[in-house]
Amino acid sequence: MKKICLVITGLCLSIIGAFAQVSDSSAYKSRKLVVEEVNLVSSYYHQDGNNSAVEGGIGSEKLTDFANILEVKMYHYDKKNRKHSWALEAGIDYYTSASSDRIDTKANSSASSSDIRFYPMVSCNMENEVKGTNIGLHASFSTEFDYQSIGFGASFGKKSKDRNRELTLRAQAYLDQVSIILPIELRGFGGGGEDEGYPREARNSYSFSASVSQVINERLQLMLITELVKQDGFLALPFHRVIFNDNSPARSEKLPSSRFKVPIGLRANYFMGDHLVLRSFYRYYQDDWGLNSHTADIEAVYKFSSFVSLTPFYRYYKQTAIDYFAPYQQHKPTDEFYTSNYDLSAFTSHFYGAGIRLGAPRGVLGIKKWNMVEIRYGRYNRSTNLNANIISMHLKFK
Amino acid sequence: MLLLLFLLGLLGSGCTSVKEYQKSRINDGEMELSGRKIQKTEISFQTYREGSSGANGGKTGGGCGCN
């Protein structure tokens, strides 16, 4: 907990430090790098259920996650009046997991009961406002005890002459390493351990996305997004147990070494009257593991004024199971692939809640640079009896 | 799928040309088509708890020990 307090203090000090560089340049196109805004998003997530994949589809899924993401956005203009934007982001999660604690079933509380994930990212974007083009690059890194990731990507966007349509193409790759931490009873001699280091396997993900946005009229705009995602390498999690129907010894879950995913999404935002904005999203998803899903999401933003709004939201989600899923003790030992991870089972889920956003022309609580605060609560119910709550807060400084 | 193809056609067809001075509502912060920052951690937990992801500004596999 001390570490968490230190991290939060560090993030706050970073924000204060960032303002040492802020300059007010609303109209002037600055050649110098100036801070545009600083965002801090914090959230607390708690879930509970009884289908832990670590114990083969039974057992506690209790998990908490405390996440903090700090983002600093900067920009400057070059001699050709092109806008160069930079975003530096650092995220840190502290989580505790009852199911991960059961990787070692003999210990009262093992080293796997909690962990910290750190994930920084840097991105840059060059926008030519005359031509309506922008080119972006980004790089990211993520590390936690059993998982490391390096990511990078590029994007290109082009607006139409009347600025009512925009096409964006994006490509990205993640080169990940999964530590092979097997359930305690499956670790043989020479199978790795905390003292000698766990063996690692690669997991690579490549994606390409294309999106088209269109202003339909003065109140309605749409965006269509499609992605093609290819993953290969070690796509299972090694500490997930599978218990077979013949009571043979448990094994670590086994999944194919490649997966191809195609999500297609549509966003539609409509400004109704003078105070209400309806934000909607629909996604259809299909992959070659046999999973397909539908997601429908709607938010109604009621603007009491330019500075205060209330946003109730509801999200419906339904998925089919992958071909390789079966519950506890229902896999046959002759199955080629097997998992009892209920995240890949058939279920429906409902996510609902509300958010409130407060801004102030002279700064929140009289603090001039504190532009906005938003707080949002959501409740998640899954038909497999997994329930979760999440409360998030977004602070924006300009 | 048919609905999506229909909407794709709608996007491609000529829509009302909205002038910059008519975009006071379109340019409202709440009308942004990208995901909102406060939803970032929500999208993250959904990526872990659900088998599908993508097309919403979040990850589509990779970068985390998620599905």
DSSP lists the bridge partners of residue A221 as A215, A269
Q: What tens digit of pLDDT does each residue of A137-194 get?
A: 999 999 998 899 999 999 999 999 999 999 999 999 999 999 998 888 888 754 455 5
Q: What tens digit of pLDDT does each residue of A91-113 get?
A: 999 999 887 777 776 665 555 67
Q: Establish if A267 touches chain B: CB-CB under 8 angstroms.
A: yes
Mean pLDDT of A199-222: 95
Residues 6+ apart with CB under 8 A from A37: A73, A371, A396, A397, A398
Instruction: Verify whether the Cβ–Cβ distance A205 to B63 is below 8 Å.
Output: yes
> Domain total for chain A?
1
DSSP state of A84: E
User: How close does chain B come to A35, measured CA to CA in Å?
Assistant: 18
Q: What is the pLDDT of residue B2?
A: 55
A170 lies in which domain range? 2-397
CATH code where residue A309 lies: 2.40.160.40
Closest CA to A232 of A266, A263, A207, A268: A207
What residue type is A54 in one-letter code?
A: V
Taking CB atoms and an 8 Å cutoff, what residues of chain B touch A283?
A: 52, 54-56
Give yes or no for residue A201 having a pLDDT over 90.
Answer: yes
Q: Establish if A39 touches chain B: CB-CB under 8 angstroms.
A: yes
CA A339, CA A324: separation in Å to the nearest integer? 6
Mean pLDDT of A332-348: 97
Q: What is the pLDDT of residue A21?
A: 45
Say which of B7, B16, B64 has its CB closest to residue A217.
B16
- Quick check: A116 and A90 in contact, CB under 8 A? no
In A168-281, alpha helices (H): none
Give yes or no for residue A216 having a pLDDT over 90.
Answer: yes
CA A94, CA A44: separation in Å to the nearest integer? 10
Q: What tens digit of pLDDT does each residue of B27-45 get?
A: 999 999 988 999 999 999 9
Please count the CA atoms within 13 angstroms of the CA of A121 that sit on its side-chain side.
21
- Between A363 and A262, the higher pLDDT residue: A262
User: How close does chain A come to B5, measured CA to CA in Å?
Assistant: 10
Taking CB atoms and an 8 Å cutoff, what residues of chain A touch B14?
A: none
